Amino acid sequence: MLAQRDAFGDTLVELCETDSRVVVLDGDLANSTKSDKVAVARPDRFLMMGIAEQNLAGAAAGMSTLGLIPWVSSFAAFLASRDLDQIRVVVAQPRLNVKFAAHYSGLLTGYTGKTHQVVNDIAIMRSLPNMTVIAPCDAEEARAAIRAATLWDGPVYVRLTRDPIATITQPADTFEIGKARLLRAGSDIGIISTGTQTVRAMEAIKLLANDGIDAALLHVPTIKPLDESAIVDLARRVDCVLTCEEHSVLGGLGGATAEVLAAAYPTRVERLGIADVDGESGPNDALLHKYGLTAQHVVARARRMLARV
Amino acid sequence: MNASQIAKIGNDVRRRVLLAVQHAGAGHIGGVLSAADMLAALYFRILRVDPARPDWPDRDRFILSKGHCAIGLYTILALRGYFSLSELDTFDAIDSRLQGHPDMTKLPGLDMSTGSLGQGLSPGIGIALGARMLGKSFRTWVMLGDGEIQEGQIWEAAFCAARYELDNLTAILDWNHLQQFGWATSQGYASIARRDPLDQAREKWEAFGWNVFECNGHDVEEFIAVCDAAVAAKGRPSIVIAHTIKGKGVSFMEHDYTWHSRPLSKTDVDRAFAELGY
Protein backbone atom coordinates (compact mmCIF):
# COMPACT_ATOMS: atom_id res chain seq x y z
CA MET A 1 0.00 0.00 0.00
CA LEU A 2 1.55 3.24 -1.17
CA ALA A 3 0.12 6.70 -1.73
CA GLN A 4 0.41 8.41 -5.08
CA ARG A 5 1.29 11.68 -3.39
CA ASP A 6 4.36 10.09 -1.79
CA ALA A 7 5.34 8.71 -5.18
CA PHE A 8 4.93 12.22 -6.56
CA GLY A 9 7.22 13.80 -3.97
CA ASP A 10 9.88 11.10 -4.31
CA THR A 11 9.80 11.13 -8.09
CA LEU A 12 10.10 14.89 -8.28
CA VAL A 13 13.12 14.84 -5.96
CA GLU A 14 14.67 12.24 -8.25
CA LEU A 15 13.82 14.26 -11.37
CA CYS A 16 15.32 17.42 -9.87
CA GLU A 17 18.56 15.47 -9.47
CA THR A 18 18.60 14.14 -13.01
CA ASP A 19 16.97 16.90 -15.07
CA SER A 20 18.13 20.47 -14.59
CA ARG A 21 14.95 21.80 -16.23
CA VAL A 22 12.53 20.54 -13.57
CA VAL A 23 11.02 23.02 -11.10
CA VAL A 24 8.14 22.51 -8.65
CA LEU A 25 5.64 25.30 -8.01
CA ASP A 26 3.47 24.83 -4.94
CA GLY A 27 0.18 26.44 -3.99
CA ASP A 28 0.81 26.29 -0.23
CA LEU A 29 -0.10 22.61 -0.01
CA ALA A 30 3.40 21.13 -0.04
CA ASN A 31 2.92 19.12 3.13
CA SER A 32 -0.32 17.66 1.75
CA THR A 33 0.90 16.99 -1.77
CA LYS A 34 4.35 15.85 -0.60
CA SER A 35 6.13 18.38 -2.75
CA ASP A 36 7.66 19.32 0.61
CA LYS A 37 10.11 16.52 -0.14
CA VAL A 38 11.42 18.70 -2.97
CA ALA A 39 11.32 21.81 -0.78
CA VAL A 40 13.66 20.12 1.69
CA ALA A 41 15.89 18.21 -0.74
CA ARG A 42 16.11 20.81 -3.52
CA PRO A 43 15.07 24.25 -2.23
CA ASP A 44 16.68 25.71 -5.37
CA ARG A 45 14.02 23.94 -7.47
CA PHE A 46 11.04 24.64 -5.27
CA LEU A 47 8.91 27.76 -5.42
CA MET A 48 6.18 28.40 -2.91
CA MET A 49 3.71 30.57 -4.82
CA GLY A 50 1.19 31.24 -2.08
CA ILE A 51 -2.53 30.65 -1.91
CA ALA A 52 -3.01 32.14 -5.35
CA GLU A 53 -3.68 29.42 -7.90
CA GLN A 54 -4.32 31.70 -10.86
CA ASN A 55 -0.92 33.32 -10.51
CA LEU A 56 0.56 29.88 -9.92
CA ALA A 57 -0.55 28.57 -13.30
CA GLY A 58 0.37 31.76 -15.15
CA ALA A 59 3.83 31.90 -13.63
CA ALA A 60 4.41 28.28 -14.64
CA ALA A 61 3.41 29.17 -18.20
CA GLY A 62 5.96 31.97 -18.32
CA MET A 63 8.67 29.82 -16.81
CA SER A 64 8.12 27.10 -19.40
CA THR A 65 8.94 29.54 -22.22
CA LEU A 66 12.55 29.55 -20.98
CA GLY A 67 12.88 25.80 -21.48
CA LEU A 68 12.26 24.96 -17.84
CA ILE A 69 9.74 22.22 -17.01
CA PRO A 70 7.48 23.50 -14.24
CA TRP A 71 5.41 21.03 -12.24
CA VAL A 72 2.42 22.85 -10.74
CA SER A 73 1.36 21.07 -7.58
CA SER A 74 -2.03 21.73 -6.03
CA PHE A 75 -5.37 20.08 -5.40
CA ALA A 76 -7.23 18.85 -8.47
CA ALA A 77 -10.31 20.75 -7.33
CA PHE A 78 -8.50 24.07 -7.58
CA LEU A 79 -6.56 23.34 -10.76
CA ALA A 80 -9.50 22.09 -12.77
CA SER A 81 -11.95 24.79 -11.79
CA ARG A 82 -10.33 27.84 -10.22
CA ASP A 83 -7.46 27.72 -12.70
CA LEU A 84 -9.43 26.72 -15.73
CA ASP A 85 -9.16 30.01 -17.60
CA GLN A 86 -5.44 30.30 -16.88
CA ILE A 87 -4.85 26.73 -18.03
CA ARG A 88 -6.95 27.33 -21.13
CA VAL A 89 -5.44 30.65 -22.22
CA VAL A 90 -1.79 30.62 -21.19
CA VAL A 91 -1.05 26.89 -21.05
CA ALA A 92 -3.26 24.79 -23.32
CA GLN A 93 -3.88 27.26 -26.14
CA PRO A 94 -0.17 28.11 -26.58
CA ARG A 95 0.65 24.44 -25.86
CA LEU A 96 3.23 25.37 -23.26
CA ASN A 97 5.24 22.73 -21.50
CA VAL A 98 3.59 22.90 -18.07
CA LYS A 99 2.81 19.82 -15.98
CA PHE A 100 -0.01 19.72 -13.45
CA ALA A 101 0.07 17.39 -10.46
CA ALA A 102 -3.62 17.32 -9.58
CA HIS A 103 -3.68 15.94 -6.08
CA TYR A 104 -6.62 14.78 -3.96
CA SER A 105 -8.75 13.99 -6.98
CA GLY A 106 -12.03 12.12 -6.64
CA LEU A 107 -13.89 11.56 -3.39
CA LEU A 108 -11.17 10.23 -1.07
CA THR A 109 -9.75 13.53 0.06
CA GLY A 110 -9.39 13.14 3.82
CA TYR A 111 -12.67 14.45 5.18
CA THR A 112 -12.79 17.65 3.18
CA GLY A 113 -16.26 17.53 1.73
CA LYS A 114 -17.43 18.70 -1.65
CA THR A 115 -15.44 21.96 -1.89
CA HIS A 116 -12.18 20.03 -2.08
CA GLN A 117 -13.47 17.08 -4.06
CA VAL A 118 -13.52 17.29 -7.82
CA VAL A 119 -15.40 14.62 -9.71
CA ASN A 120 -15.51 16.23 -13.16
CA ASP A 121 -11.90 17.21 -13.75
CA ILE A 122 -11.30 14.55 -16.40
CA ALA A 123 -14.30 15.87 -18.32
CA ILE A 124 -13.03 19.44 -18.07
CA MET A 125 -9.40 18.72 -18.89
CA ARG A 126 -10.00 16.35 -21.76
CA SER A 127 -12.14 18.94 -23.51
CA LEU A 128 -9.21 21.36 -23.73
CA PRO A 129 -7.36 21.17 -27.06
CA ASN A 130 -3.65 20.28 -26.64
CA MET A 131 -4.10 18.89 -23.12
CA THR A 132 -2.91 15.41 -22.16
CA VAL A 133 -4.77 13.75 -19.28
CA ILE A 134 -3.39 10.86 -17.24
CA ALA A 135 -4.92 9.07 -14.23
CA PRO A 136 -2.48 6.41 -12.95
CA CYS A 137 -3.85 3.47 -10.97
CA ASP A 138 -1.33 3.23 -8.14
CA ALA A 139 1.87 4.73 -6.77
CA GLU A 140 4.11 2.70 -9.07
CA GLU A 141 2.26 3.81 -12.18
CA ALA A 142 2.15 7.39 -10.84
CA ARG A 143 5.95 7.34 -10.75
CA ALA A 144 6.11 6.19 -14.36
CA ALA A 145 3.44 8.67 -15.44
CA ILE A 146 5.25 11.58 -13.79
CA ARG A 147 8.50 10.62 -15.51
CA ALA A 148 6.76 10.25 -18.86
CA ALA A 149 4.85 13.51 -18.44
CA THR A 150 8.11 15.33 -17.72
CA LEU A 151 9.53 14.17 -21.04
CA TRP A 152 6.28 14.74 -22.98
CA ASP A 153 6.27 17.83 -25.16
CA GLY A 154 3.25 19.86 -24.07
CA PRO A 155 0.87 20.36 -21.16
CA VAL A 156 -0.07 17.34 -19.06
CA TYR A 157 -2.65 16.96 -16.29
CA VAL A 158 -1.77 14.06 -13.98
CA ARG A 159 -4.67 13.08 -11.74
CA LEU A 160 -3.48 11.74 -8.39
CA THR A 161 -5.14 10.50 -5.20
CA ARG A 162 -4.40 11.08 -1.53
CA ASP A 163 -4.44 7.81 0.36
CA PRO A 164 -2.37 4.62 0.21
CA ILE A 165 -3.66 2.08 -2.28
CA ALA A 166 -2.58 -1.43 -3.25
CA THR A 167 0.14 -1.54 -5.88
CA ILE A 168 -0.88 -3.60 -8.90
CA THR A 169 1.74 -2.24 -11.27
CA GLN A 170 5.11 -3.97 -11.36
CA PRO A 171 8.30 -1.94 -11.82
CA ALA A 172 8.91 -3.93 -15.01
CA ASP A 173 5.55 -2.89 -16.53
CA THR A 174 6.04 -0.39 -19.29
CA PHE A 175 4.17 2.88 -19.25
CA GLU A 176 3.60 4.85 -22.38
CA ILE A 177 1.42 7.94 -22.64
CA GLY A 178 -1.58 7.12 -24.84
CA LYS A 179 -1.39 3.35 -24.29
CA ALA A 180 -3.95 1.29 -22.39
CA ARG A 181 -2.95 -1.86 -20.52
CA LEU A 182 -4.95 -5.07 -20.73
CA LEU A 183 -4.69 -6.40 -17.19
CA ARG A 184 -6.83 -9.45 -17.87
CA ALA A 185 -8.25 -10.98 -21.02
CA GLY A 186 -11.85 -12.21 -20.90
CA SER A 187 -14.84 -12.82 -23.14
CA ASP A 188 -18.05 -12.15 -21.19
CA ILE A 189 -17.72 -8.49 -20.28
CA GLY A 190 -15.04 -5.90 -20.83
CA ILE A 191 -14.36 -3.65 -17.89
CA ILE A 192 -12.56 -0.43 -18.76
CA SER A 193 -11.28 1.64 -15.89
CA THR A 194 -8.93 4.47 -15.06
CA GLY A 195 -7.13 5.93 -12.06
CA THR A 196 -7.18 4.22 -8.69
CA GLN A 197 -10.62 2.78 -9.50
CA THR A 198 -8.64 0.20 -11.50
CA VAL A 199 -7.42 -1.31 -8.23
CA ARG A 200 -11.04 -1.87 -7.18
CA ALA A 201 -11.93 -3.14 -10.64
CA MET A 202 -9.06 -5.63 -10.38
CA GLU A 203 -10.58 -6.94 -7.16
CA ALA A 204 -13.97 -7.11 -8.90
CA ILE A 205 -12.79 -9.27 -11.80
CA LYS A 206 -11.33 -11.76 -9.34
CA LEU A 207 -14.71 -11.94 -7.58
CA LEU A 208 -16.44 -12.33 -10.94
CA ALA A 209 -14.04 -15.13 -11.91
CA ASN A 210 -14.99 -16.96 -8.74
CA ASP A 211 -18.57 -16.81 -9.98
CA GLY A 212 -17.55 -18.15 -13.37
CA ILE A 213 -17.78 -14.81 -15.16
CA ASP A 214 -14.91 -14.24 -17.55
CA ALA A 215 -14.33 -10.48 -17.37
CA ALA A 216 -11.60 -8.63 -19.22
CA LEU A 217 -10.00 -5.60 -17.59
CA LEU A 218 -8.53 -2.80 -19.66
CA HIS A 219 -6.78 -0.11 -17.65
CA VAL A 220 -6.73 3.23 -19.43
CA PRO A 221 -4.32 5.54 -17.61
CA THR A 222 -4.25 8.08 -20.43
CA ILE A 223 -7.71 9.46 -21.03
CA LYS A 224 -6.34 11.86 -23.61
CA PRO A 225 -4.94 10.98 -26.09
CA LEU A 226 -7.18 7.93 -25.77
CA ASP A 227 -6.03 4.49 -26.88
CA GLU A 228 -9.05 4.05 -29.15
CA SER A 229 -7.83 0.89 -30.82
CA ALA A 230 -7.38 -0.88 -27.48
CA ILE A 231 -10.96 0.00 -26.57
CA VAL A 232 -12.34 -1.18 -29.91
CA ASP A 233 -10.25 -4.38 -29.78
CA LEU A 234 -11.65 -5.11 -26.35
CA ALA A 235 -15.23 -4.43 -27.47
CA ARG A 236 -14.85 -6.92 -30.34
CA ARG A 237 -14.00 -9.69 -27.90
CA VAL A 238 -16.77 -9.24 -25.32
CA ASP A 239 -20.54 -9.05 -25.11
CA CYS A 240 -20.73 -5.70 -23.39
CA VAL A 241 -18.56 -3.00 -21.83
CA LEU A 242 -18.64 -1.47 -18.36
CA THR A 243 -16.56 1.63 -17.66
CA CYS A 244 -15.42 2.39 -14.09
CA GLU A 245 -13.98 5.56 -12.63
CA GLU A 246 -13.88 7.60 -9.43
CA HIS A 247 -15.29 10.48 -11.43
CA SER A 248 -18.64 11.69 -12.65
CA VAL A 249 -20.42 9.49 -15.18
CA LEU A 250 -20.59 12.62 -17.32
CA GLY A 251 -17.75 13.22 -19.72
CA GLY A 252 -14.98 11.17 -18.13
CA LEU A 253 -13.61 7.81 -19.24
CA GLY A 254 -17.19 6.55 -19.60
CA GLY A 255 -18.10 9.37 -21.92
CA ALA A 256 -14.88 9.00 -23.89
CA THR A 257 -15.41 5.24 -24.28
CA ALA A 258 -19.02 5.68 -25.38
CA GLU A 259 -17.95 8.29 -27.94
CA VAL A 260 -15.36 5.93 -29.42
CA LEU A 261 -17.53 2.84 -29.51
CA ALA A 262 -20.63 4.64 -30.83
CA ALA A 263 -18.62 5.62 -33.89
CA ALA A 264 -16.24 2.69 -34.37
CA TYR A 265 -17.93 -0.42 -33.00
CA PRO A 266 -21.40 0.10 -31.50
CA THR A 267 -21.47 -1.92 -28.32
CA ARG A 268 -23.64 -1.97 -25.24
CA VAL A 269 -21.85 0.33 -22.76
CA GLU A 270 -22.74 1.14 -19.18
CA ARG A 271 -20.87 3.65 -17.06
CA LEU A 272 -20.11 3.10 -13.40
CA GLY A 273 -19.03 6.26 -11.63
CA ILE A 274 -20.35 9.06 -9.51
CA ALA A 275 -23.85 10.06 -10.51
CA ASP A 276 -24.30 13.72 -11.42
CA VAL A 277 -23.89 14.81 -7.79
CA ASP A 278 -21.29 16.38 -5.52
CA GLY A 279 -19.52 14.46 -2.76
CA GLU A 280 -19.38 15.00 0.99
CA SER A 281 -17.14 14.39 4.01
CA GLY A 282 -16.72 10.89 5.33
CA PRO A 283 -14.43 7.91 5.78
CA ASN A 284 -13.16 6.41 2.53
CA ASP A 285 -15.06 3.13 2.86
CA ALA A 286 -18.30 4.94 3.53
CA LEU A 287 -17.77 7.25 0.57
CA LEU A 288 -16.97 4.41 -1.83
CA HIS A 289 -20.01 2.55 -0.59
CA LYS A 290 -22.45 5.46 -0.74
CA TYR A 291 -21.31 6.65 -4.18
CA GLY A 292 -21.24 3.14 -5.63
CA LEU A 293 -17.53 2.62 -6.32
CA THR A 294 -16.57 -0.51 -4.34
CA ALA A 295 -15.49 -3.75 -5.99
CA GLN A 296 -18.86 -5.20 -4.96
CA HIS A 297 -20.62 -2.42 -6.87
CA VAL A 298 -18.58 -3.27 -9.96
CA VAL A 299 -19.45 -6.96 -9.55
CA ALA A 300 -23.14 -6.28 -9.09
CA ARG A 301 -23.26 -4.00 -12.10
CA ALA A 302 -21.43 -6.51 -14.30
CA ARG A 303 -23.72 -9.32 -13.22
CA ARG A 304 -26.77 -7.21 -13.96
CA MET A 305 -25.47 -6.34 -17.42
CA LEU A 306 -24.96 -10.04 -18.11
CA ALA A 307 -28.36 -10.88 -16.56
CA ARG A 308 -26.58 -13.20 -14.18
CA VAL A 309 -27.78 -11.71 -10.96
CA MET B 1 17.09 56.87 -31.74
CA ASN B 2 16.11 60.14 -30.07
CA ALA B 3 12.82 61.00 -28.41
CA SER B 4 11.41 63.09 -31.23
CA GLN B 5 12.12 60.35 -33.78
CA ILE B 6 10.40 57.84 -31.48
CA ALA B 7 7.43 60.18 -31.08
CA LYS B 8 7.10 60.22 -34.88
CA ILE B 9 7.04 56.43 -34.87
CA GLY B 10 4.32 56.54 -32.19
CA ASN B 11 2.28 58.73 -34.46
CA ASP B 12 2.88 56.36 -37.37
CA VAL B 13 1.61 53.51 -35.19
CA ARG B 14 -1.62 55.47 -34.72
CA ARG B 15 -2.02 55.97 -38.46
CA ARG B 16 -1.35 52.34 -39.32
CA VAL B 17 -3.60 51.03 -36.54
CA LEU B 18 -6.51 53.12 -37.80
CA LEU B 19 -5.93 51.77 -41.31
CA ALA B 20 -5.74 48.18 -40.10
CA VAL B 21 -8.90 48.51 -38.02
CA GLN B 22 -10.71 50.14 -40.91
CA HIS B 23 -9.54 47.35 -43.20
CA ALA B 24 -10.59 44.63 -40.76
CA GLY B 25 -13.96 46.28 -40.21
CA ALA B 26 -13.56 46.28 -36.43
CA GLY B 27 -10.98 46.47 -33.72
CA HIS B 28 -9.78 48.09 -30.54
CA ILE B 29 -8.68 51.68 -30.93
CA GLY B 30 -8.72 53.82 -27.79
CA GLY B 31 -6.32 51.73 -25.71
CA VAL B 32 -3.97 51.32 -28.66
CA LEU B 33 -3.72 55.05 -29.18
CA SER B 34 -2.98 55.53 -25.48
CA ALA B 35 -0.14 52.97 -25.62
CA ALA B 36 1.34 53.92 -29.02
CA ASP B 37 4.12 56.23 -27.80
CA MET B 38 5.21 53.78 -25.12
CA LEU B 39 5.24 50.85 -27.56
CA ALA B 40 7.42 52.91 -29.89
CA ALA B 41 9.83 53.81 -27.07
CA LEU B 42 9.98 50.21 -25.87
CA TYR B 43 10.71 48.63 -29.24
CA PHE B 44 12.97 51.38 -30.64
CA ARG B 45 14.92 52.25 -27.51
CA ILE B 46 14.28 50.37 -24.30
CA LEU B 47 13.97 46.65 -25.06
CA ARG B 48 17.05 44.63 -25.95
CA VAL B 49 15.61 42.68 -28.84
CA ASP B 50 16.70 41.54 -32.27
CA PRO B 51 13.98 41.29 -34.93
CA ALA B 52 16.18 38.90 -36.92
CA ARG B 53 16.31 36.54 -33.95
CA PRO B 54 12.88 36.59 -32.26
CA ASP B 55 13.90 33.48 -30.27
CA TRP B 56 17.22 34.94 -29.04
CA PRO B 57 17.40 33.44 -25.52
CA ASP B 58 18.88 36.58 -23.95
CA ARG B 59 16.38 39.04 -25.39
CA ASP B 60 14.26 41.16 -23.09
CA ARG B 61 10.71 39.81 -22.83
CA PHE B 62 7.61 41.89 -23.41
CA ILE B 63 4.08 40.79 -22.55
CA LEU B 64 1.08 42.82 -23.61
CA SER B 65 -1.27 41.89 -20.80
CA LYS B 66 -3.92 44.20 -22.26
CA GLY B 67 -4.04 41.80 -25.20
CA HIS B 68 -7.00 43.47 -26.90
CA CYS B 69 -4.52 46.13 -28.03
CA ALA B 70 -2.79 43.51 -30.19
CA ILE B 71 -2.91 45.59 -33.34
CA GLY B 72 -0.69 48.18 -31.66
CA LEU B 73 1.86 45.52 -30.81
CA TYR B 74 1.71 44.02 -34.32
CA THR B 75 2.23 47.45 -35.84
CA ILE B 76 5.30 48.25 -33.76
CA LEU B 77 6.73 44.77 -34.42
CA ALA B 78 6.27 45.30 -38.15
CA LEU B 79 7.83 48.75 -38.00
CA ARG B 80 10.76 47.30 -36.05
CA GLY B 81 11.24 44.72 -38.81
CA TYR B 82 9.87 41.49 -37.35
CA PHE B 83 7.66 41.03 -40.41
CA SER B 84 6.47 42.97 -43.41
CA LEU B 85 4.25 46.01 -42.93
CA SER B 86 1.91 44.70 -45.62
CA GLU B 87 0.98 41.82 -43.33
CA LEU B 88 -0.88 44.31 -41.12
CA ASP B 89 -3.64 44.16 -43.73
CA THR B 90 -4.32 40.57 -42.69
CA PHE B 91 -5.26 41.59 -39.12
CA ASP B 92 -8.29 39.55 -38.00
CA ALA B 93 -8.58 37.78 -41.37
CA ILE B 94 -8.95 34.01 -41.51
CA ASP B 95 -5.60 32.15 -41.37
CA SER B 96 -3.79 35.35 -40.35
CA ARG B 97 -0.88 35.29 -37.93
CA LEU B 98 -2.30 38.53 -36.58
CA GLN B 99 -5.11 37.24 -34.41
CA GLY B 100 -7.55 39.50 -32.57
CA HIS B 101 -5.52 38.82 -29.44
CA PRO B 102 -1.79 37.93 -29.49
CA ASP B 103 -1.19 34.25 -30.28
CA MET B 104 2.42 33.20 -29.67
CA THR B 105 1.88 29.95 -31.55
CA LYS B 106 1.31 31.88 -34.77
CA LEU B 107 3.54 34.95 -34.76
CA PRO B 108 7.26 35.02 -33.86
CA GLY B 109 8.18 37.84 -31.51
CA LEU B 110 5.33 37.34 -29.08
CA ASP B 111 6.57 36.26 -25.66
CA MET B 112 3.14 35.20 -24.38
CA SER B 113 -0.38 34.66 -25.62
CA THR B 114 -2.73 37.08 -23.90
CA GLY B 115 -6.28 38.30 -24.15
CA SER B 116 -8.14 37.09 -21.10
CA LEU B 117 -7.55 40.15 -18.96
CA GLY B 118 -5.50 40.12 -15.81
CA GLN B 119 -3.35 37.19 -16.90
CA GLY B 120 -0.20 38.80 -18.28
CA LEU B 121 1.68 39.72 -15.12
CA SER B 122 1.87 36.13 -13.83
CA PRO B 123 3.77 34.75 -16.85
CA GLY B 124 6.05 37.76 -16.47
CA ILE B 125 6.76 36.62 -12.91
CA GLY B 126 7.45 33.10 -14.12
CA ILE B 127 9.87 34.40 -16.73
CA ALA B 128 11.60 36.67 -14.21
CA LEU B 129 11.89 33.83 -11.68
CA GLY B 130 13.15 31.49 -14.38
CA ALA B 131 15.70 34.03 -15.58
CA ARG B 132 17.05 34.29 -12.05
CA MET B 133 17.27 30.48 -11.78
CA LEU B 134 19.10 30.27 -15.09
CA GLY B 135 21.43 33.16 -14.30
CA LYS B 136 20.10 35.25 -17.20
CA SER B 137 20.36 39.01 -17.06
CA PHE B 138 17.56 39.96 -19.45
CA ARG B 139 14.59 41.99 -18.21
CA THR B 140 10.89 41.19 -18.39
CA TRP B 141 8.37 43.92 -19.18
CA VAL B 142 4.59 43.64 -18.85
CA MET B 143 2.15 46.29 -20.04
CA LEU B 144 -1.07 46.42 -18.03
CA GLY B 145 -4.33 48.23 -18.68
CA ASP B 146 -5.99 50.26 -15.96
CA GLY B 147 -9.28 48.41 -16.38
CA GLU B 148 -7.73 44.96 -16.34
CA ILE B 149 -6.11 45.46 -12.97
CA GLN B 150 -9.60 45.11 -11.55
CA GLU B 151 -8.91 41.38 -12.03
CA GLY B 152 -7.91 39.61 -8.82
CA GLN B 153 -5.09 37.67 -10.46
CA ILE B 154 -3.14 40.91 -10.94
CA TRP B 155 -2.99 41.35 -7.18
CA GLU B 156 -2.01 37.71 -6.64
CA ALA B 157 0.83 38.43 -9.03
CA ALA B 158 1.68 41.80 -7.45
CA PHE B 159 2.03 40.11 -4.07
CA CYS B 160 4.12 37.25 -5.43
CA ALA B 161 6.52 39.46 -7.42
CA ALA B 162 7.25 41.53 -4.34
CA ARG B 163 7.67 38.43 -2.18
CA TYR B 164 10.39 37.22 -4.58
CA GLU B 165 11.90 40.72 -4.88
CA LEU B 166 11.83 40.48 -8.66
CA ASP B 167 13.85 43.51 -9.63
CA ASN B 168 14.28 42.04 -13.12
CA LEU B 169 10.57 42.66 -13.76
CA THR B 170 9.01 45.97 -14.77
CA ALA B 171 5.32 46.57 -15.22
CA ILE B 172 3.96 49.52 -17.18
CA LEU B 173 0.47 50.66 -16.34
CA ASP B 174 -1.28 52.40 -19.23
CA TRP B 175 -3.55 54.52 -17.06
CA ASN B 176 -5.80 55.97 -19.76
CA HIS B 177 -8.66 56.51 -17.33
CA LEU B 178 -11.37 54.63 -19.22
CA GLN B 179 -12.43 51.02 -19.62
CA GLN B 180 -14.80 49.34 -22.07
CA PHE B 181 -18.05 50.54 -20.47
CA GLY B 182 -17.15 51.74 -17.02
CA TRP B 183 -19.04 53.11 -14.06
CA ALA B 184 -21.30 56.12 -14.54
CA THR B 185 -20.60 59.46 -12.91
CA SER B 186 -23.43 61.36 -11.22
CA GLN B 187 -24.66 62.12 -14.75
CA GLY B 188 -25.77 58.49 -15.18
CA TYR B 189 -25.15 55.93 -17.91
CA ALA B 190 -26.83 57.99 -20.64
CA SER B 191 -23.87 60.37 -20.48
CA ILE B 192 -20.53 59.39 -22.01
CA ALA B 193 -18.78 60.57 -18.86
CA ARG B 194 -17.32 57.75 -16.81
CA ARG B 195 -15.54 57.27 -13.52
CA ASP B 196 -11.87 56.40 -13.59
CA PRO B 197 -11.36 52.61 -13.64
CA LEU B 198 -8.82 53.01 -10.89
CA ASP B 199 -7.96 55.17 -7.94
CA GLN B 200 -4.93 55.47 -5.69
CA ALA B 201 -2.76 53.52 -8.12
CA ARG B 202 0.49 54.61 -6.50
CA GLU B 203 -0.68 53.75 -3.00
CA LYS B 204 -1.93 50.33 -4.09
CA TRP B 205 1.29 49.26 -5.79
CA GLU B 206 3.44 50.71 -3.02
CA ALA B 207 1.38 48.83 -0.45
CA PHE B 208 2.06 45.64 -2.39
CA GLY B 209 5.80 46.27 -2.12
CA TRP B 210 6.66 47.67 -5.55
CA ASN B 211 8.89 50.57 -6.55
CA VAL B 212 6.51 53.04 -8.16
CA PHE B 213 7.42 55.56 -10.85
CA GLU B 214 5.06 57.91 -12.63
CA CYS B 215 5.24 59.75 -15.92
CA ASN B 216 3.31 61.17 -18.81
CA GLY B 217 3.02 58.17 -21.15
CA HIS B 218 2.91 60.46 -24.17
CA ASP B 219 6.15 62.26 -23.32
CA VAL B 220 8.68 59.88 -24.83
CA GLU B 221 11.69 61.48 -23.20
CA GLU B 222 10.10 61.34 -19.75
CA PHE B 223 8.89 57.78 -20.29
CA ILE B 224 12.38 56.59 -21.26
CA ALA B 225 13.95 58.35 -18.28
CA VAL B 226 11.46 56.77 -15.89
CA CYS B 227 11.97 53.31 -17.42
CA ASP B 228 15.73 53.75 -16.98
CA ALA B 229 15.14 54.61 -13.33
CA ALA B 230 12.88 51.57 -12.95
CA VAL B 231 15.59 49.33 -14.39
CA ALA B 232 18.15 50.80 -12.01
CA ALA B 233 15.98 50.32 -8.91
CA LYS B 234 16.96 47.16 -7.06
CA GLY B 235 15.45 44.83 -4.51
CA ARG B 236 11.81 45.11 -5.57
CA PRO B 237 9.77 44.87 -8.75
CA SER B 238 9.01 48.21 -10.37
CA ILE B 239 5.97 49.67 -11.99
CA VAL B 240 5.84 52.68 -14.27
CA ILE B 241 2.46 54.31 -13.90
CA ALA B 242 2.02 56.08 -17.20
CA HIS B 243 -0.68 58.74 -17.32
CA THR B 244 -2.18 58.58 -20.77
CA ILE B 245 -5.24 59.60 -22.75
CA LYS B 246 -7.52 56.98 -24.26
CA GLY B 247 -7.80 57.73 -27.98
CA LYS B 248 -4.74 60.04 -27.81
CA GLY B 249 -4.06 62.04 -30.96
CA VAL B 250 -7.55 62.07 -32.41
CA SER B 251 -9.71 64.73 -30.75
CA PHE B 252 -13.06 63.03 -31.25
CA MET B 253 -11.75 59.75 -29.84
CA GLU B 254 -10.02 61.20 -26.79
CA HIS B 255 -11.68 60.68 -23.40
CA ASP B 256 -14.60 58.84 -25.05
CA TYR B 257 -15.21 55.27 -23.88
CA THR B 258 -17.19 54.40 -27.01
CA TRP B 259 -13.93 54.41 -28.98
CA HIS B 260 -12.63 51.47 -26.93
CA SER B 261 -13.56 49.25 -29.84
CA ARG B 262 -15.65 50.06 -32.85
CA PRO B 263 -15.67 50.04 -36.64
CA LEU B 264 -14.15 53.02 -38.43
CA SER B 265 -15.76 54.77 -41.40
CA LYS B 266 -13.73 56.40 -44.16
CA THR B 267 -14.85 59.78 -42.84
CA ASP B 268 -13.55 58.88 -39.39
CA VAL B 269 -10.20 57.88 -40.83
CA ASP B 270 -9.92 61.02 -42.99
CA ARG B 271 -10.68 63.27 -40.03
CA ALA B 272 -8.26 61.37 -37.81
CA PHE B 273 -5.48 61.50 -40.41
CA ALA B 274 -5.89 65.26 -40.77
CA GLU B 275 -5.43 65.63 -37.03
CA LEU B 276 -2.46 63.27 -36.96
CA GLY B 277 -0.82 65.30 -39.73
CA TYR B 278 -1.21 62.83 -42.60
CA separation for the pair B168, B173 (Å, rounded): 17
β-partners of residue B62 are: B141
Which residue range is the domain that position B272 belongs to?
3-276
Cβ-contact A45, A16 below 8 angstroms:
yes
Same domain, A12 and A129: yes
Residue A187 belongs to a domain: yes
B72-85 pLDDT, tens digit per residue, is 999 999 999 999 99
Where residue A240 sits, what CATH number does that domain have? Answer: 3.40.50.920
Q: Choose the final residue of a domain: A100, A127, A159.
A: A159
Which residue range is the domain that position A233 belongs to?
181-305
In the structure, what pLDDT confidence band is assigned to residue B65 with cuts at 50, 70 and 90?
very high
Core vs surface per residue A147-168: b (16+ CB within 10 A) or e:
bbbbebeebbbbbbbbeebebb
Per the structure, how many domains does chain A have?
2
Contacts of A66 in chain B (CB under 8 A): 57, 127, 130-131, 134, 136
Residue A169 belongs to a domain: no
- Beta carbons of A64 and B126 less than 8 Å apart: yes
Residue A174 belongs to a domain: no
Mean pLDDT of B176-185: 97
Shortest alpha-carbon distance between residue B84 and chain A (Å) = 23
What's this model's pTM, rounded to 2 decimal places?
Answer: 0.97
β-partners of residue A184 are: A217
Same domain, A38 and A148: yes
Mean pLDDT of B175-202: 97
Contacts of A94 in chain B (CB under 8 A): 103-105, 112-113
- Beta carbons of B126 and A95 less than 8 Å apart: no
Shortest alpha-carbon distance between residue A60 and chain B (Å) = 6
Same domain, A217 and A149: no
Q: Choose the final residue of a domain: A124, A159, A194.
A: A159
Residue A171, pLDDT score: 84
CA separation for the pair B190, B248 (Å, rounded): 23
Same domain, A205 and A285: yes
Where residue B272 sits, what CATH number does that domain have? Answer: 3.40.50.970
Q: What is the mean pLDDT of each run of 10 residues along chain A (309 residues)?
A: 98 98 98 98 98 98 98 98 97 98 97 96 98 98 98 98 96 95 98 98 98 97 98 98 98 98 98 97 97 98 92
Residue A170 belongs to a domain: no
Residue A171 belongs to a domain: no
Where residue A115 sits, what CATH number does that domain have? Answer: 3.40.50.970
Per the structure, how many domains does chain B have?
1
Cβ-contact A190, A241 below 8 angstroms:
yes
Q: Which of B66, B65, B62, B18 is nearest to B40 (CA)?
A: B62
Mean pLDDT of B38-55: 98
Residue A224, pLDDT score: 98
Residue A224 belongs to a domain: yes
Residue A38 belongs to a domain: yes
In the structure, what pLDDT confidence band is assigned to residue B136 with cuts at 50, 70 and 90?
very high
Same domain, A188 and A152: no
Using the Cβ of A130 and the Cβ atoms of chain B, whether some distance falls under 8 Å is answered with: no
- Beta carbons of B126 and A63 less than 8 Å apart: yes
Residue A253 belongs to a domain: yes
Contacts of B66 in chain A (CB under 8 A): none
Q: Choose the final residue of a domain: A104, A128, A159.
A: A159
Same domain, A217 and A146: no
In the structure, what pLDDT confidence band is assigned to residue B70 with cuts at 50, 70 and 90?
very high
